Chain A
Amino acid sequence: MTDFGYTTWILIIPFVTFLILSLFGMKLKGLPAGLTGTVALGLVTFLSYFTAITYFTGGGISGGSFQKIVAANAVWLNLSDHLHIDMGVLLDPISVMMLVVISTVSFMVHIYSLGYMKGEKGFERYYAFLSLFTFSMMGLVVATNIFQMYIFWELVGVSSYLLIGFYYDRPSAVAASKKAFIVTRFADMGFLVGILLLSFTTKTFDFVTLTDINGPAIASKGGAVFLGMSLMTWSMIFIFMGGAGKSAMFPLHIWLPDAMEGPTPVSALIHAATMVVAGVFLVARMFPVYYFAAPEALQIIAWVGAVSSLFAAIIALTQTDIKRVLAYSTISQIGYMIFSLGVSGYGGHDGLGFMASNWHLFNHAMFKALLFLGAGSVIHAVHSNDMKDMGGLRRYMPVTNITFLIACLTIAGVPPLSGFFSKDEILTAALHHNKILFAIEYAVAGLTAFYMFRLYFSVFHGVDRHYHHTPHESPATMTVPLVILAAGSVFAGFLPFSSLVTSDGVPFESHIEWGVAIPSVAIGLLGIGLAWVMYRKETTLPDRMTSLFRHSYKWAYNKFYIDEVYIFITKKVIFRHISHPVAWFDRHIVDGTMNGIAYVTQSVSSMIKGLQSGQLQKYGYVFISGVIALVIAFIYLVK
């Protein structure tokens, strides 16, 4: 096998860039800072592609299957005699695939931002944070052990926090960044507890050992049983909680729509293509453990994915903020991926769901980044996020229009675009697993096509709005990435994914299941058709539909009031009913007790200080009485 030692540079370069930009960014001022970041990322992208090509064309193959290669590893911290946290690079099909995804999207976003963020205050800070994010995300996917993953998991969380709050003088952005951090932090607590339980049962963090299907971790089956499930299952459920938080799965999804307060390229990179799929990656990474040692957890994962995808798709139907529609669409699509892992088997064709999930992840990264960047281009032109302020833009922005259309067709699953292939495989896997889940996902496919084209038609078709100035096509720094990503969306479907990324590393043959593909394309087209009828021209049809489903519309429009529930829990319960009482208790009861002791001491002393009257004769009384008492005592008691 090939030596992959150079892959450490994939981590080092962005980190060094981050240091340079954060320490000397002020001196670089604007464009040079952006270029520094972009060039560095170009290098990273080159290295990632090089790695991927080397790995998939033979460097990673041994004995007919793709191996897990530890390219570098060093002890970072010893926790106990058998547990140590390492830092290193692990290459296997999914991590290599992720390297390609992250570097591609990140590179595109770097270029795009040169145009989009031009003239913004804090340009160098923006690029510093992007580098930090890229570093963290790369570290996450190449982690050799679950703890390294957790470390970088937290770091992507903080980069996300910093980037969402990039416009830090805008209160909504500040609130959104705070919310994102705290919700994911809460989920990460579950992740940490999961790691604690896992490491306690298996005595290792190492992925290679953990996911070895003949290894001790899986063989142990988790030992002790707690509340009907093995400790292993519990730990895997907790670990998935971390994944669900990061991937914005129901009910931990509330931070993602708000996270759209960040700059749009950031939404494309972090909140569509890379960071939010970390949960999918996590489950994929731990897949053998889930499948063999914690099948109940896998079942939960399937349902969480399905519910999230349906739920988010319904909300997406009603939203009018272009980025929020995309955000809910992201939740829905990630739900697809998570679901697909949940219904997957292990090994060969049984692992279809696993393969499909990763394929969809890959495709989704391309087309969703494209959608976001396209949306960014539109927002850049009309200075608004609201779909009501947009319309007829296809005349002004031809490149954006075409690329956006391609992305919409891809997500709707129209052949031969990439979304069609991966979605088909997912639905096939679902059909083999559970009919109810299949039905849900099938419906979601139709909804997806509908809301995406609702978005497309109302933005690019229909009538012109009152624009402050005539919208114009974005500069080349922004359109070139759009074109590249569009090309990616078109051609990614022809990648031989089933012979590259599989659950056990062994390539297998997959083919299109026409029995599933035809109905799914049909429902996609139906959705598009419906959107065509309702939104291509300005009609009253949407309003009539809205009033027909008034109540359910209201619920969906208000995102099923999940945010309100959270606000109730945090504001009412935690702030008012825990923290305030604790603070009060501390000041009045605990501190009051201390002050009370002081007070008692003081009053006692002021009571007895009267004895020290200075009256000689009183002292005399006491003295004489004392003497007499002593004399009596000596006479009668001591004999």
Chain B
Amino acid sequence: MIMNSGIPLEFYLVLATVMFFTGIYGFLTRRNLITMLMSVELILNSVNINFMAFNRFLFPGKLEGHFFSLFVIAVAAAEAAVAIAIIINIYRRFTTINVEDVNQMKY
């Protein structure tokens, strides 16, 4: 029943970790809002991979991992839409999408 063909779990996890930290790195270092959004997507997708991988290897008969991944994708889509709307508005207001320049609400 279980398709233990080839790729072991560790590979998935390594991939997910690399993606996760790439996302974190991008999120913390990039000043461009779009890039930051992309980094967040990377983080979310690394989580998705984890979900799928664990679901597959630990509880092959169940579907919760898949459901969660789908949820995450849906939420990420919604979030991207909202975020991009905000970014567009910020761009219109400040003519920049650099986060450091958007500091009117500071303190």
- Which residues in A have some Cβ–Cβ distance to B below 8 Å? 609, 612-617, 620-621, 624
Judge whether B28 and A614 touch: CB under 8 Å.
Answer: no
With contacts A612-B107, A613-B106 taken as known, whether A624 is within 8 angstroms of B99 at the C-beta atoms is no
- Residue B24 CB within 8 A of the other chain: yes
Measured in the bound complex, the distance between the Cα atoms of B105 and A615 in whole Å is 10
- Residue B5 CB within 8 A of the other chain: no
Measured in the bound complex, the distance between the Cα atoms of B106 and A624 in whole Å is 21
Which residue of chain B is the closest to A618 with respect to CB atoms? Answer: B28
Chain A residues with CB under 8 A of B28: 617, 620-621, 624
20 contacts between A and B (CB under 8 A): A612-B106, A612-B107, A613-B103, A614-B103, A614-B105, A614-B106, A615-B100, A615-B103, A616-B36, A617-B27, A617-B28, A617-B31, A617-B36, A617-B99, A620-B24, A620-B27, A620-B28, A621-B28, A624-B24, A624-B28
Which residue of chain B is the closest to A609 with respect to CB atoms? Answer: B107
Cβ proximity bits B27-54 to A, threshold 8 Å, 1 near / 0 not = 1110100001000000000000000000
Is the contact region of chain A dominated by helix, strand, or loop, or is it mixed?
Answer: helix
Chain A residues with CB under 8 A of B29: 617
Chain A residues with CB under 8 A of B99: 615-617
- Which residues in B have some Cβ–Cβ distance to A below 8 Å? 24, 27-29, 31, 36, 99-100, 103, 105-107
Chain B residues with CB under 8 A of A621: 28
What 5 A-B pairs come out closest when comparing CB atoms?
A614-B106, A620-B28, A617-B28, A614-B105, A609-B107
- What's the least CB distance linking B25 to chain A, in Å? 10
Chain A residues with CB under 8 A of B24: 620, 624
Chain B residues with CB under 8 A of A612: 106-107
Chain B residues with CB under 8 A of A613: 103, 106
- What's the least CB distance linking B11 to chain A, in Å? 23
Which residue of chain A is the closest to B102 with respect to CB atoms? Answer: A614
- What's the least CB distance linking A290 to chain B, in Å? 79
Chain A residues with CB under 8 A of B31: 617
Chain A residues with CB under 8 A of B105: 614
* Besides A615-B103, A620-B28, 6 other A-B contacts (C-beta < 8 A): A614-B103, A614-B107, A616-B36, A617-B27, A617-B29, A617-B31
Measured in the bound complex, the distance between the Cα atoms of B105 and A404 in whole Å is 95
Chain B residues with CB under 8 A of A617: 27-29, 31, 36, 99
- What's the least CB distance linking A592 to chain B, in Å? 29
Chain B residues with CB under 8 A of A616: 36, 99
- What's the least CB distance linking B43 to chain A, in Å? 11
Measured in the bound complex, the distance between the Cα atoms of B86 and A129 in whole Å is 86
Measured in the bound complex, the distance between the Cα atoms of B40 and A128 in whole Å is 94
Measured in the bound complex, the distance between the Cα atoms of B21 and A624 in whole Å is 11
- What's the least CB distance linking A108 to chain B, in Å? 84
Which residue of chain A is the closest to B106 with respect to CB atoms? Answer: A614
Which residue of chain B is the closest to A616 with respect to CB atoms? Answer: B99
Which residue of chain A is the closest to B30 with respect to CB atoms? Answer: A617
Which residue of chain A is the closest to B100 with respect to CB atoms? Answer: A615
Measured in the bound complex, the distance between the Cα atoms of B104 and A615 in whole Å is 11
Which residue of chain B is the closest to A617 with respect to CB atoms? Answer: B28
Measured in the bound complex, the distance between the Cα atoms of B38 and A340 in whole Å is 112
- What's the least CB distance linking A560 to chain B, in Å? 72
Interface centre among B29, B36, B105, B107 (most CB of A within 10 A): B107
- What's the least CB distance linking A437 to chain B, in Å? 86
Measured in the bound complex, the distance between the Cα atoms of B105 and A614 in whole Å is 7
Measured in the bound complex, the distance between the Cα atoms of B100 and A616 in whole Å is 9
- What's the least CB distance linking B42 to chain A, in Å? 14
- What's the least CB distance linking A616 to chain B, in Å? 6
Which residue of chain B is the closest to A612 with respect to CB atoms? Answer: B107
Measured in the bound complex, the distance between the Cα atoms of B101 and A616 in whole Å is 12
Chain B residues with CB under 8 A of A624: 24, 28
Measured in the bound complex, the distance between the Cα atoms of B107 and A616 in whole Å is 13
Measured in the bound complex, the distance between the Cα atoms of B8 and A476 in whole Å is 135
Measured in the bound complex, the distance between the Cα atoms of B99 and A614 in whole Å is 10
Which residue of chain A is the closest to B104 with respect to CB atoms? Answer: A614
Chain B residues with CB under 8 A of A614: 103, 105-107
Which residue of chain A is the closest to B29 with respect to CB atoms? Answer: A617
Which residue of chain A is the closest to B103 with respect to CB atoms? Answer: A614
Which residue of chain A is the closest to B21 with respect to CB atoms? Answer: A624
Measured in the bound complex, the distance between the Cα atoms of B27 and A624 in whole Å is 11
Measured in the bound complex, the distance between the Cα atoms of B36 and A615 in whole Å is 13
